Every structure is written in C-alpha cells, then in structure tokens.
Amino acid sequence: MHRSGPAMAWNVFKFCTALRGLGSIMILLVLGVVGVTYYAVVLTNYGPALYDGGLDSLIAFAVLISFHCLLVMLLWSYFSVVLTDPGSVPPNWRPAVDEERAEGDPLNTMEFSILHPELSNQRIRYCRKCNHLKPPRCHHCSVCGRCVLKMDHHCVWVVNCVGALNYKYFLLFLLYTFLETSVVTLSLLPHFIAFFSEGEIPGTPSTLATTFIAFVLNLAFALSVMGFLIMHISLVAANTTTIEAYEKKTTPKWRYDLGRKRNFEQVFGMDKRYWLIPAYSDEDLRRMPALQGLEYPSKPELESQEF
C-alpha cells in the first residue's frame, strides 16, 4: 500500500506524456478523414455528376458548393484551435487590485466586496507545479505541463488545450464539423442505399468502398459531434466550462453567470459579425484581458454590464 501512491503518480505522468505524443498522428487522422470524404463526394460522385445535365447537375452543384464552403470553415476553425495558444498566465502575474492595495488579501476586503460582488468569494490561488499565482478559472493541465486560462479540457483531436483564447474556435470547429458531416451523410445516403439494392451499381470496387467508408465515418462523426456541440452550447449559456461543471452543480448561484446574452458575448465577442468565423474584432481583442480573467472589471464596467 505504501508504494501504490508513487506508482500511480508515475503511471499518470506516463499517460500524459503519451497523450502529448499523439499530436501529429491525430492531425494526420483528421486530414485522412477529410481526404477520404473529399474523394468520395467530389471526385467519385458529385464532381462527375456536374456533366450529366438537368436536375442532376443542379443538385451536384448545390452539394459541391455547400461542401466546399463548410470544408473551408471547418479547416479554418480546426487549425485556429490547433495553432492558437489557449492562454497562459503571464510571468509574475498578480491581480491588478492587489497592486493597488498593500494590505491583506484584496479579495477578502469589504471595499472589494462592494465593488466586485461577483468576485468577493474568490481567493487568490497558487499553483505548486508552476510556482505562480493562478487567475480565476485557471487550471493546470498535466498534458501541457502548465496553467491554462479558463481551461475547458485538453483535446487530443486538436492537440491542444481548449481555453480562454481558442474556446470560440473549438466551438466553431464542432459546429462546422457537424454541418459538414451532416451534408456528406445526406448526400451519400442514396449511394449507400444503392449498396443494398439488387440493381447494378456504377463505379469500380475501390470507389464503391471509399463511398461506403466515407458515409459510415461521417454518420458516426455527425452523431457524436452533435452530442458534444449540444453539451458545449449549454455550458456557454451558463458561462461555465467542462472542468467547472461539477463545481457549478454544488454552488447555489454560479458567480460567473452574467445572463445568456452576455455569456455568449464573453466567448464569441461583442461584434456579432464575427460570431461565425474564427476571428475577433479589434475591439474584442482589446477586451481580451478582462475576458481571460487577468484583469478585474472596474466599477463603471460592472454598471454598464459590458462583460
């Protein structure tokens, strides 16, 4: 029993190291699924159908346009999640309020409680692994080996943590993956049904097998991603993360819930023109420190309820 603790800690460390090593494999897997799907939809079925004329050409054109538009948004969102740092704690970070007050813990003073009622029950936390203070909603990721701002989870599919700076991109990746796989599933459904018909099916064995595999893969992804998308939309609506979901259930009133509209604005930005693309407006980028939890809102900001 005495040796089980160190052994368990060593095994967990090895597991985290293995997850970190999956990086290039998972990216290649995603690109492989995209490649198989592209071959089945564009090169095998609907690309040649453009030259059939009549209604078949019109349907093929509509499928190809929607397929390529969604594919561009999917890949843009995916690589935005992969390449964007989720948010790291700046070196020697300290709460701005703490710098203005020399005495005691600023989060326990009466003045701070009056000015910031939604933050008054928090205490400044310290990460023993990173050896620095932790902003609110910051958690340590064992896979990345660092603290991540507003960490939601570490996702092996995107080879990155999902946190304050790339959570929007992750949600858009889920959205466009669901839409893309749904379009592919519906467009390949007639060809999939043809496999079980008694008539002769046009195409070589390799193209038929690719179509079959693409349909099954996209159907599986559409159903699974739909569940994740619904879950994360509900989390955004309540202004919580996957890690905080249990904590929220044990708290009478969730202190970060600002109302559904402002909760979505905190993730997607104030400018709704940017909500469906993996980018932020210049004004939203200026407000990022407050969204990350690195800066506490001032009294006028609380009254105007901008965040």
State CA 65 to chain mean position distance. Answer: 26
Residues involved in catalysis: 155
- On whether the CB atoms of residues 239 and 257 are closer than 8 A, the answer is yes
Residue type, 9: A
| Nearest partner of 190 among 180, 202, 206, judged by Cα | 202
Beta bridge partners of 154: 161
State the Cα–Cα distance between residues 213 and 185, nearest whole angstrom.
Answer: 11
State the Cα–Cα distance between residues 195 and 213, nearest whole angstrom.
Answer: 12
Name the DSSP class of 52. S
| Nearest partner of 150 among 142, 140, 160, judged by Cα | 140
